[in-house]
Amino acid sequence: MSEVEYYPVDHPGLPWEATAPVDEHGDVAGFVLARAGACRIAVANVADRHQVLLVEPQELRSLRDALLAGRFDHLWEAGGHWPDRPSVAERPRGTEPVPSASQLPT
């Protein structure tokens, strides 16, 4: 990740890092993250300077694990399929697939 200039209305002065590559003009799109104090991470979408979400690292880990496990695949526009989701071999340790609600025993 690379540090980028981002100036949300709240939380000024944080060292923001881009989740996507910076383009040839130095612009970034999508999400940026920054450490916000000792135990929080600030998450923002550069398209909306008025919204900054403060989360704990474990909350981001849980979100990452759920995304990699496919628990939100039904939300993607491409017919419920995340075309570039990493294969099991590419997933970080500890991110084993979690069954969706329809796969759980009743």
33 in Cβ contact with 46 (< 8 Å): no
CB 4: neighbour CB atoms within 10 A?
17
The domain spans of the chain are: 17-55, 58-96
**pTM to 2 decimals?**
0.68
Identify which has the larger pLDDT, 87 or 16: 16
CA distance 15 to 4: 8
pLDDT per residue as tens digits for the range 65-95: 998 888 887 777 655 555 566 555 555 555 5
- Compute CA distances 55 → 42, 91, 103, whole Å: 6, 22, 29
Per the CB < 8 A criterion, the answer to whether 15 and 3 are in contact is yes
Q: Are 80 and 74 in contact (CB under 8 A)?
A: yes
